[in-house]
A and B are shown apart, each in its own frame.
Chain A
């Protein structure tokens, strides 16, 4: 069941659109903000609320990489693997992150703290190589050890 707080936010989001369905991406993100990810149950509940079938909503949910249909850690690290970062040390940065967190791309640390995901260009190429943790961008990570202190500030 969707919570009262979720429903309030979703209703506000839907005001920008003339059809409930059109607000589905924003609504998915609202539910995800409250629960961390979109479970099958949440998907069914939300689909009903938006007058969509669950499959219809899932076809949208699975298209967009920032909608998580699997459980993620408390913090999601997006590692930019596009060309500007590649040219200035992306590979070293990714190796360092994988070693340090002891996980590969698409995986979550055993303590549920971090999930590591690949990401398309984050649009901060002037400070490549860059990553994003939750809503925060961290750039200029050359040498890659610079990321260690940053990770410490996310519990």
Chain B
């Protein structure tokens, strides 16, 4: 694929260092901002993003232009006083590492995307919320923000347009809950990252009770390209594979030959990602299943590999595209052990705010631990399935527990005979084999 077909990653430096502001400008950087400020109204920018069919790349797939359009504008009470835009760079979904790659390699693209989002929604203050372990991303962004201020891409009266935007880097201190947008806002206010009731949605009442848009890093990085090249061009990037527009940074981890991330047309099949880009399974390992987009998505099997990796297609086969970074299960890894690892993560990261999540996930971990140790009972399997149902959407305050229920329900369903074998043989068959 040519660089034009890979707008997000095509201009990366070969040495893996971040593009400086001069280098970014040479690749066409900040042209979209100049164009928007000179020739386009905020509504025009929003309409272009709506037309592009860009959907949120954090996992939920909500149309970005629509999300922005819920920010009140006009002469009501919400329109006077500050409005905010926040980049969710709290990339903590297990198996996901795409936003880190974007921030480390091309931090100005994120800044320009936020500028355009701020212009479209009328925001005058921006925060980049970076997870505490991403030191490389924070260094790259900190330097890029300073460079952008130096050239008046940020600050007061940007490029003489009358538009103002202040931008701050916020380094977090761990905790998956910060990735949930209302948990993130509480954390940004210096509180525990517990979720807030919705409605009101952040677009109306977010950071400090003011209108706030929270977007994922990859989502925002697409925006400069949409404004520079147009919505039609962006829709064409998916090559008709999908009704969605643009490319997607897909990834693969686990026992594949070449774990990594690749920018491809959205709607590329899971099989192409696994076999061509990740190089297939490592010698001596057989494919058993995958989680298509992070820990909180349902398992898929060999029979699903021809699914197009876009939001609607993956949903049709019973999972979600999520973050698009696949986690591969091989035949020499115990599916019960993998499930236990997944559920330990969710149980530990639960903020404890609502009972089904706080209590339910620890029970799930207890039961899985017992099965893995050979002390499970056959009834436990149906109890696990019941837990998966009770942790599903509608029973909990936020999406953390429903996210945990996705690999749990599907994992027990697809690998049931492996669970039964642990219980029947009273030990983990994989531990014996590997020791």
Of A1-9, A78-86, A106-114, A146-154, the one with at least 4 CB within 8 A of chain B:
A78-86
- Confirm or deny: A10 has a beta carbon within 8 angstroms of a beta carbon on chain B: no
Question: What residues of A have a CB within 8 angstroms of the CB of B66 in the complex?
Answer: none
**Across the interface, which residues of B come within 8 angstroms of A88, CB to CB?**
253-255
Partner of A126, one of B136, B191, B251, B344: B251
Listed stretches B147-155, B322-330, B419-427; interface member: B322-330
The answer to whether A60 and B191 have CB atoms under 8 Å apart is yes
Q: How far is B97's CA from A123's CA once the two chains are assembled, in angstroms?
A: 5
What residue in chain A is nearest B97 (Cβ atoms)? A123
Contact residues in B for A127 (Cβ distance below 8 Å): 259
Is A42 part of the binding interface, using a Cβ–Cβ cutoff of 8 Å? no
A-binding segment of B168-176, B265-273, B385-393: B168-176
Chain A residue contacts of B254, Cβ below 8 A: 84, 87-88
Given contacts A16-B168, A25-B172, A25-B187, contact A66 B97 (CB under 8 A): no
A143 contacts chain B at the CB level, 8 A cutoff: no
Contact with B along A15-47 (1 / 0, CB 8 A): 011110111111011000000000000000000
How far is it, in angstroms, between the C-alpha of A28 and the C-alpha of B171 when the chains are bound? 12
Please indicate the chain B residues that have their CB under 8 angstroms from the CB of A123 in the complex: 91-92, 96-97, 100, 131, 133-134
Known contacts A25-B172, A25-B190; decide if A83 and B327 are in contact (CB<8 Å).
Answer: yes
**A 121-141 binary contact with B (CB < 8 Å = 1; else 0):** 111111110001001010000
CA distance in complex: A3, B428 (Å): 54
Assembly CA distance A124 to B259 (angstroms):
10
Does A98 touch B at the CB level, under 8 Å? no
Chain A residue nearest to B259 in the complex (CB): A126
A119 near B: Cβ within 8 Å?
yes
The reply to whether A86 and B133 contact each other, CB–CB distance below 8 Å, is: no
Closest B residue to A140 by CB, please name it.
B259
A69 CB to nearest chain B CB (Å): 12
Q: Are B190 and A21 in contact (CB under 8 A)?
A: yes
A59-B192 in contact (CB<8A): yes
With contact pairs A83-B95, A83-B338, A87-B333 given, residues A125 and B325 touching in the complex (Cβ less than 8 Å): yes
In the complex, are the beta carbons of B173 and A132 less than 8 A apart? Answer: no
Instruction: For the complex, give the distance between the alpha carbons of A18 and B291 in Å.
Output: 41
The answer to whether A83 and B170 have CB atoms under 8 Å apart is no
| Complex interface bits, B70-114 against A, C-beta within 8 A gives 1, otherwise 0 | 000000000000000000000111111100100000000000000
Contact B170 A121, beta carbon cutoff 8 Å: no
On chain B, the residues within 8 Å of A25 by CB distance are: 172-173, 187, 190
Q: Collect the chain B residues with CB atoms within 8 Å of residue A83's CB.
A: 94-95, 291, 295, 327, 338, 341-342, 345
Does B384 touch A at the CB level, under 8 Å?
no
Pairwise interchain contact B176-A120, C-beta atoms closer than 8 A: yes
Complex Cα distance, B202 from A43, in Å, reads 31
Q: Which of B17-37 contact A (CB under 8 A)?
A: none
Asked whether, in the complex, the Cβ of B97 is within 8 Å of the Cβ of A26, the reply is: no
**A16-B168, A60-B190 known; A126 and B261 CB under 8 Å?**
yes
The interface residues of chain A lying within 8 Å CB-to-CB of B325 are 125
Q: Is B193 an interface residue (CB 8 A)?
A: yes
Query: 0/1 per residue, B332-365, Cβ < 8 Å to A?
Result: 0100011001101100110100000000000000
A64 touches B94 (CB 8 A): no
Task: Give the distance in Å from the alpha carbon of A123 to the alpha carbon of B341 in the complex.
Answer: 16
- B339 (CB) vs chain A CBs: closest residue: A83
Closest to A25 in B: B173
Contact, CB under 8 Å: B133 / A119: yes
Q: Inside 8 A of B191's CB, which chain A residues have their CB?
A: 60
> Taking CB as reference atom, which chain A residue is nearest B342?
A83
A125 B97 Cβ-Cβ under 8 A: yes
Which of chain A's residues have a CB closer than 8 A to the CB of B348?
Answer: 118, 120
Q: Are A120 and B333 in contact (CB under 8 A)?
A: no
CA distance A9 to B195 in the complex (A): 30
Q: A19-B208, A25-B190 are in contact. List 19 more A-B contacts (CB 8 A).
A: A18-B208, A19-B190, A25-B173, A29-B171, A63-B175, A64-B132, A64-B172, A66-B133, A82-B295, A82-B341, A82-B345, A83-B338, A83-B345, A87-B255, A88-B255, A90-B341, A126-B97, A126-B260, A126-B261
Report 9 cross-chain contacts, Cβ distance below 8 Å, ordered by A residue. Answer: A21-B190, A63-B175, A64-B173, A83-B94, A84-B95, A86-B333, A87-B338, A118-B348, A123-B100
* Residues on A facing B (Cβ under 8 Å): 16-19, 21-26, 28-29, 59-60, 63-67, 78, 81-84, 86-88, 90, 118-128, 132, 135, 137
| A-B interface, 7 closest residue pairs, ranked by CB to CB distance from nearest | A64-B173, A125-B253, A16-B168, A82-B94, A86-B341, A121-B94, A65-B174
